[in-house]
C-alpha cells in the first residue's frame, strides 16, 4: 500500500506537470490556434472567436480531466467499483444543472464551461472519498508541486501572450504566421522548463533524469 500511495502521488504530480501548462497555453493561445487551423473560406474571424471561447472554457478543466484518469483507477485497485460510478452520476447531474445555469448568459461557452466545472467536481469528490487505505498520500508534496507548476505556467503564459500580441506584421500571413506561432510555442516551452528547473520542480528533475538515462543506455542489440 505504501508503494501504491507513492505511485498515486507521483501520478497526480506528473499529470499536473503536463496538464497545467497545457491548459495555460490553450487559454492564452486559443484564438491563434483556432485561426491558424480553421479561419479560411466560410469560417470567418467571428467564428474563430466563438470557437476560441469554447476552447478556453473546455481548457479550464483540463487538469481535472487528467486528474480523474489517475484517481479513478485507484478505487478499482482496492476493489471499490461503486464509488467512482456514484460520483460520475453526481457529476453528470451537476453538468446538466451547470448547463442550464450557464448556457443562457454564456451561450456555447457556457455549455463548455459546464463540462469543465462538472469534471472539477468529479475530481474533488474522488479525492474526498478516497478509501482510507490510500487516503494518506503526500498532499503537502502535491500542493507544493502544484504551486511551483502554476507559477512556471503563469510565467510561460505571460511570455506567450507578449509574443503573440506583438507579432510583427511581416508574420501575419501564410507560412510566416505559422513560423511565428511555432516560435511562440517553443519559447513558451523553454520558459516553462527553465522555470521548472529554476524553482526545482521534482517532476522536472525526474524528466531530466529519464532523458539522461535514455540517452546513456546502450543501443538495443549492442554487445557490452
What average pLDDT is seen over the chain? 93
DSSP 138-158: -HHHHHHHHHHHHHHHHHHHH
Q: Is the pLDDT of residue 85 over 90?
A: yes
> Residues for the chain: how many in total?
224
**Cβ–Cβ under 8 Å, residues 67 and 84:** no
What letter does residue 218 receive in the DSSP assignment? P
What's the confidence (pLDDT) of residue 11? 94
Phi, psi at residue 60, to the nearest 5°? -55, -30
DSSP classification of residue 168: -
Predicted local distance difference test score (pLDDT) of residue 109:
97
Measure the CA–CA gap between 3 and 179, rounded to whole angstroms: 45
pTM for the complete prediction? Answer: 0.92
pLDDT in tens, 45-63: 999 999 999 999 999 999 9
User: What confidence tens digit (pLDDT) does each residue in 199-223 have?
Assistant: 999 999 999 999 988 888 776 666 5
Which pLDDT score, from 0 to 100, does residue 133 have? 81
Taking the domains of the chain in order of start, what are their residue ranges? Answer: 2-214
Give pLDDT tens digits for 139-173: 999 999 999 999 999 999 999 999 999 998 888 88
Amino acid at each position: 500500500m505504501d508503494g501504491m500511495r507513492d505511485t498515486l502521488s507521483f501520478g497526480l504530480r506528473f499529470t499536473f506537470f503536463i496538464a497545467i501548462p497545457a491548459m495555460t497555453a490553450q487559454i492564452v493561445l486559443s484564438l491563434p490556434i483556432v485561426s491558424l487551423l480553421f479561419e479560411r473560406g466560410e469560417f470567418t474571424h467571428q467564428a474563430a472567436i466563438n470557437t476560441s471561447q469554447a476552447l478556453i472554457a473546455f481548457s479550464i478543466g483540463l487538469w481535472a480531466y487528467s486528474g480523474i484518469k489517475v484517481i479513478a483507477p485507484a478505487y478499482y485497485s482496492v476493489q471499490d467499483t461503486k464509488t467512482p460510478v456514484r460520483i460520475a452520476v453526481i457529476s453528470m447531474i451537476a453538468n446538466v444543472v451547470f448547463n442550464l445555469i450557464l448556457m443562457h448568459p454564456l451561450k456555447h461557452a457556457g455549455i463548455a464551461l459546464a463540462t469543465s466545472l462538472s469534471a472539477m467536481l468529479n475530481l474533488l469528490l474522488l479525492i474526498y472519498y478516497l478509501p482510507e487505505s490510500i487516503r494518506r498520500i503526500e498532499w503537502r508534496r502535491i500542493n507544493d508541486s502544484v504551486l511551483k507548476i502554476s507559477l512556471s505556467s503563469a510565467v510561460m503564459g505571460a511570455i506567450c501572450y507578449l509574443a503573440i500580441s506583438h507579432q510583427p506584421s511581416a508574420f501575419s500571413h501564410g507560412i510566416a504566421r505559422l513560423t511565428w506561432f511555432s516560435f511562440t510555442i517553443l519559447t513558451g516551452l523553454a520558459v516553462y522548463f527553465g522555470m521548472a528547473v529554476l524553482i526545482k520542480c521534482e517532476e522536472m528533475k525526474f524528466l531530466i533524469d529519464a532523458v539522461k538515462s535514455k540517452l546513456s543506455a546502450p543501443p538495443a542489440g549492442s554487445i557490452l
